[in-house]
């Protein structure tokens, strides 16, 4: 008999989680003003809010932490991390930062000015926030097919090269500090970008004299999809693929909390020395000295090990197979989600599930609340709340897709948890016709409102 698939690790340490009653959850949700971010984690049974910083570090990462060098300048840990970054990405220069958005803050402080234009494929919310905070504009050039959740495409996170070229033609190069290519494309469903597309974007960048930034939070998962789906890459190692990806870019920003499997950390990679030098001042102002930038020595050590572990094929196969396993269960129950299943998450198609909730009443958020009340599972809205208001008109921006993201932390839950999640989603799906009312906003911040927003049920 063919041997079944099994995880490429075993478990050495566990953390207890507790189930709650529906009555308890109703009270907690109301106390949290119907914002899942406001819930205490102890009130959550399975936490799929994010795969960011929620992974389980390995014995080797914990061991590396004991050897951290906490020197203020020139720490051994910095050089260990520098070597790992060079090995995995090929970038010769880097600045450590405390997380991904800090990398964006430092890089954009040096690059972006008012009225600039930054085309990209579904900029992540912090990226868009950092652009709009500087009174510049993020222009989305994602392929149209990404908005049709039923289409099975291998590289649904791709940039539309025609849309991109139109932007590059329309604005002078001085107003385009860089193109932002996000791999995998988180907002479109954890969907990968093909090497062919990366090359196409890079060729256009060169043609118009514009730089290319790769937002790399999930670069290793993207490389796994290239290896398993793109012709010509089947026999390349993950690290050969990651180095090829980055060879096309001028910069990378990294949230190490994802594919480098650490709980905190980030960095910026630079191709050329001048760009690196220009950012040093901002790194010192916002993050810390250029050889630690917001990270302790032990954290840089764990990150260096995590970069290698996160780019091992067996680990990536285990990880992405688990997400696919959940997808298959949902298929059995006929539940609509962004197809095919993504690298880090399943994105439920809330518009297709809660067909009776009007968009003004926050469809995906309503689904998120229902799933929590059903089973203590916490997902995150990728819809109207995340899209923020139009910075000029201050009107709500209703995105084409209303998704509830179920992000799977790395090396944390088992497939029994996946079965539990699928059953809970099915229960909500079966009573979907009865869910006709959503939520109204009572309090919000002007930018990145979804983290702290307060809501009330529509009567
Ligand atoms: N870029 C992408 C594509 C991201 O997904 C994130 C974070 C960031 C940048 C910012 O990194 O959190 O370290 O500051 N995404 C998390 C998520 C928060 O849940 O998807 P950060």
Asked if 22-51+313-457 and 59-309 have one fold, the answer is no
Confidence of residue 24 (pLDDT cuts 50, 70, 90): very high
Å from CA of 458 to ligand 1 middle: 31
Q: Determine the Cα–Cα distance for residues 424 and 326; give it in Å rounded to an integer.
A: 12
Q: Determine the Cα–Cα distance for residues 269 and 282; give it in Å rounded to an integer.
A: 15
Å from CA of 430 to ligand 1 middle: 32
Say which residues have a Cβ less than 8 Å from residue 48's Cβ, sequence separation at least 6.
345, 377, 378, 379, 380, 405, 406, 407, 408, 409, 421
Q: What is the pTM of this model?
A: 0.96
pLDDT digits (tens, 9 = 90+) for 204-256: 999 999 999 999 999 999 999 999 999 999 999 999 999 999 999 999 999 99
pLDDT of 342 reads: 94
pLDDT of 71 reads: 98
The number of angstroms, rounded, from the C-alpha of 1 to the middle of its chain's C-alpha atoms is 38
How buried is residue 352: exposed, middle or buried, by Cβ count under 10 Å (0-12/13-18/19+)?
A: middle
Q: What percent of the chain has pLDDT over 90?
A: 96
What is the mean pLDDT of the segment spanning 139-148? 96
pLDDT of 447 reads: 81
CATH class of 59-309: alpha beta
Confidence of residue 448 (pLDDT cuts 50, 70, 90): confident
Cβ neighbours around 317 below 10 Å, total = 16
Q: Is the CB of 379 under 6 A from ligand 1?
A: no
Residue 266 Cα: closest atom of ligand 1: 13
Active site residues: 72, 124-125, 215, 217, 258, 450
* For residue 97, pLDDT beyond 90: yes
What is the mean pLDDT of the segment spanning 423-449? 95
Q: Is the CB of 25 under 6 A from ligand 1?
A: no
Q: Is the CB of 266 under 6 A from ligand 1?
A: yes
DSSP 120: E
pLDDT of 4 reads: 87
**What's the mean per-residue pLDDT of the chain?**
97
Confidence of residue 392 (pLDDT cuts 50, 70, 90): confident
Nearest CA to ligand 1 atom 15: 52
Q: Is the CB of 233 under 6 A from ligand 1?
A: no
Nearest CA to ligand 1 atom 12: 100
CA-based torsion, 118, 100, 254, 274: positive or negative? positive
Pairing of strands 46-47, 377-378: parallel
Residue 218 Cα: closest atom of ligand 1: 3
Q: Determine the Cα–Cα distance for residues 386 and 384; give it in Å rounded to an integer.
A: 6
Longest dimension (CA), the chain: 63
Asked if residue 417 has a cis previous peptide bond (ω within 30° of 0), the answer is: no
Domain ranges, ordered by start, for the chain: 22-51+313-457, 59-309
Q: Is the CB of 126 under 6 A from ligand 1?
A: yes
Ranges of H-type helices in 156-296: 161-170, 195-207, 219-229, 238-247, 273-286
Q: Is the CB of 99 under 6 A from ligand 1?
A: yes
pLDDT digits (tens, 9 = 90+) for 42-55: 999 999 999 999 99
First to last CA, the chain: 57
In this structure, which CATH number among 3.40.50.300, 3.90.1150.10, 1.10.10.10, 3.30.70.1170 belongs to the domain 22-51+313-457? 3.90.1150.10
What is the mean pLDDT of the segment spanning 375-386? 96
Q: Is the CB of 123 under 6 A from ligand 1?
A: no
pLDDT of 423 reads: 98
Å from CA of 254 to ligand 1 middle: 9
Nearest CA to ligand 1 atom 10: 100
């Amino acid at each position: 008999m063919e041997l079944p698939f099994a995880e490429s690790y075993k478990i050495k340490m566990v953390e207890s989680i507790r189930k709650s009653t529906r009555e308890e959850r109703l009270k907690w949700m109301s106390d949290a003003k119907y914002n899942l971010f406001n819930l205490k984690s102890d009130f959550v049974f399975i936490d799929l809010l994010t795969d960011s910083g929620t992974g389980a570090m390995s014995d080797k990462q914990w061991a590396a932490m004991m050897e951290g060098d906490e020197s203020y300048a020139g720490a051994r840990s910095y050089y260990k991390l520098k070597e790992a970054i060079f090995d995995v990405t090929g970038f010769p220069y880097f600045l450590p930062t405390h997380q991904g958005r800090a990398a964006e803050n430092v890089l954009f402080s040096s690059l972006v000015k008012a009225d600039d234009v930054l085309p990209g494929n579904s900029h992540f919310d912090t990226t868009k926030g950092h652009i709009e905070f500087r009174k510049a504009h993020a222009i989305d050039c994602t392929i149209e097919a990404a908005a049709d959740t039923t289409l099975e495409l291998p590289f649904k996170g791709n940039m539309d090269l025609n849309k991109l070229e139109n932007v590059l033609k329309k604005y002078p190069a001085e107003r385009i500090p860089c193109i932002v290519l996000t791999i995998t494309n988180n907002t479109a469903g954890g969907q990968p970008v093909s090497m062919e597309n990366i090359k196409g974007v890079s060729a256009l960048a060169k043609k118009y004299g514009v730089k290319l930034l790769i937002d790399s939070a999930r670069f290793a998962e993207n490389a796994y999809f290239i290896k398993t789906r793109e012709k010509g890459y089947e026999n390349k190692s993950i690290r050969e693929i990651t180095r090829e990806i980055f060879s096309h870019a001028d910069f990378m920003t990294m949230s190490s909390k994802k594919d480098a499997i650490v709980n905190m950390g980030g960095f910026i990679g630079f191709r050329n020395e001048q760009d690196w030098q220009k950012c040093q001042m901002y790194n010192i102002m916002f993050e810390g000295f250029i050889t630690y930038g917001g990270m302790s020595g032990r954290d840089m050590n764990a990150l260096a090990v995590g970069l290698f572990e996160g780019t091992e094929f067996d680990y990536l196969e285990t990880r992405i197979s688990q997400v696919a396993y959940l997808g298959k269960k949902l298929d059995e129950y006929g539940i609509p989600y962004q197809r095919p299943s993504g690298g880090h998450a399943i994105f439920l198609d809330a518009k297709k599930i809660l067909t009776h909730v009007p968009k003004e009443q926050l469809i995906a958020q309503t689904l998120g609340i229902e799933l929590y009340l059903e089973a203590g599972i916490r997902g995150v809205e990728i819809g109207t709340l995340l899209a923020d208001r139009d910075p000029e008109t201050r009107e709500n921006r209703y995105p084409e897709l209303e998704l509830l993201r179920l992000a799977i932390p790395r090396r944390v839950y088992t497939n029994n948890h996946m079965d539990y999640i699928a059953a809970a989603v099915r229960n909500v799906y079966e009573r979907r016709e009865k869910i006709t009312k959503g939520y109204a906003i009572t309090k919000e911040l002007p930018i990145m409102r979804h983290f702290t927003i307060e809501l009330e049920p529509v009567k």
